[in-house]
Chain A
Amino acid sequence: MEAHSIEAIEIDLLLEAIFRRYGYDFRHYARASIERRIKVGMDRLDCHPLSELTRRILHEPSFFQELLNSFSITVTEMFRDPEVYACLRNQVVPYLATYPFIKVWHAGCATGEEVYSLAIVLAEEGILERTTIYATDFNETALMTAKDGIYPLDRVQTFSANYQESGGRTTLADYYHAEYDSMIITQSVKKNITFARHNLASDQVFGEMHLIICRNVLIYFDRTLQEKVLTLFDDSLIDNGFLCLGSKESLRFSALADRYLGFAPPHKVYRKRRDDQGGGNRSPHDSSASTGSYLC
């Protein structure tokens, strides 16, 4: 047997060990990505070969936590893909504003930059006060950073440029204060956000949402897990609720595709049809009928 075939077995064993020992299920992650992250983790933790990594993970929970952190380090920025936030502001918020209270789920919020971006949009459009944003991630370290809302000050320039491009109404400086080398998100932006640990691969529905945002998370999953997570979102969304995916993610290949309208196709914003709309008949008072296009 060739070395790379043996390595494939060792990676299977490692993922199985992580699942049975700690309950984190990476077995349906996109394999090429997770293999790369394992290798990056091995170099960072200076632990070779794979069998030694598996042994230490089984016996040292703190070591596993370190590996876990390197598994889910994602890079993001405030108002990443500004045009998506412009779309949420101009096209989605007017619908959300018709509800007396609003629930938003930001799934896979990582270090929180995009959650605060959304909160700022909702604040400027006057609906943050009656909105609860649930921001979840499986990585506790990332969640802690998100909760703190403290970022290196040298990122402000990018964040501000994105904010302006997204159609921000004032200046980003209204939403943070600078202290030494850090920018600290203000309490007014943070107060309606609930941060919680939630693992998309294994945890369940926890509420009825008007809007679910999950960007650049599904690309890390295989088709099976993608479908499972999309079903979880579908079960969590109210009729006529909105789903916003990453720029390179789509419902196109999903069995759930015909349950959604492509509300803003270039920005991957979908709108769930009402249950009684079945194959596509929309009720006359649903004004998205005139603007929404079918999935493309």
Chain B
Amino acid sequence: MLSGYDAIVIGASAGGFSALGELLPQLPAGLPQAVVVVQHLHPRGGEYLVEYLNSHCAMPVKEAEDKEPILPGVIYVAPAQYHLLIEQDRIFSLSVDDKVNYSRPSIDILFSSAAAAYGPCLIGIILTGANADGACGLALIKERGGLTIVQEPKTAETPLMPQAAINQTGGPNHILPLAEIAGLLR
């Protein structure tokens, strides 16, 4: 288990549903970090993801709410059609600003605000996906001294997003297949 970290932010797009379904159930109840997930979704698919994960994870899973305090040991999922941001005092804010990288929620928006709020106490993870969302955000996490992890592109259902994140960060701390990412976190 990793110490010295308060939160884990995870970004996933195409193929993310099954990747998250594999990764998150491996995290133990009582994890000392909060886990915050952006999965690019169909406009109305958000609730199903929360329901599905909740029935498969040891950690409680819920949709992130506006101005909700972020607690360790909980998995928060960004609601469909809203950007999810983290404030300095570690509460969530939502926004309906324009899409970023054709996406709302955008991984870059979550990651960059999380980097500002958590600094070096943050772990950022980019999983499978078909666009470059999250690459800039992950680079920012690295710049602020956080730990950066990217799913090994050749093991990802769609390699484009992890590859973009690797390129943008100039090399994350870890490039791992899913199973090993879970091993590193738990």
Contact = CB atoms under 8 A, between A and B. Distances in A.
Interface of A: 4, 30-33, 35-37, 73-76, 216, 218-220, 222-223, 226, 248-250, 253
Given A31-B87, A75-B96, A248-B94, 9 more contacts: A30-B85, A30-B95, A36-B95, A218-B66, A219-B82, A219-B93, A219-B95, A223-B67, A248-B65
18 contacts: A4-B116, A31-B87, A32-B87, A32-B88, A32-B93, A33-B95, A33-B97, A35-B116, A36-B109, A36-B113, A74-B96, A74-B97, A75-B97, A219-B96, A220-B95, A222-B87, A248-B65, A248-B79
A216 B96 contact: yes
Contacts of B82: 219, 248
A32 B87 CA distance: 5
Given A219-B66, A248-B82, A30 B96 contact: no
B116 A32 contact: yes
Interface residues of B, number: 21
B98 interface: yes
A218 B65 CA distance: 12
Contacts of B144: 4
Nearest to A246: B96
B139 interface: no
Interface string B120-142: 00000000000000000000000
A32 B117 CA distance: 9
B97 A219 contact: no
A253 B92 CA distance: 14
Closest 8 CB pairs of A and B: A32-B85, A30-B93, A32-B113, A219-B94, A219-B66, A33-B95, A216-B96, A32-B87
Nearest to B119: A4
Given A4-B144, A75-B98, A30 B87 contact: yes
A141 B15 CA distance: 41
B34 interface: no
Contacts of A216: 96
Contacts of A223: 67
Contacts of A75: 96-98
A219 B91 CA distance: 12
A181 B86 CA distance: 40
Contacts of A30: 67, 85, 87, 93, 95
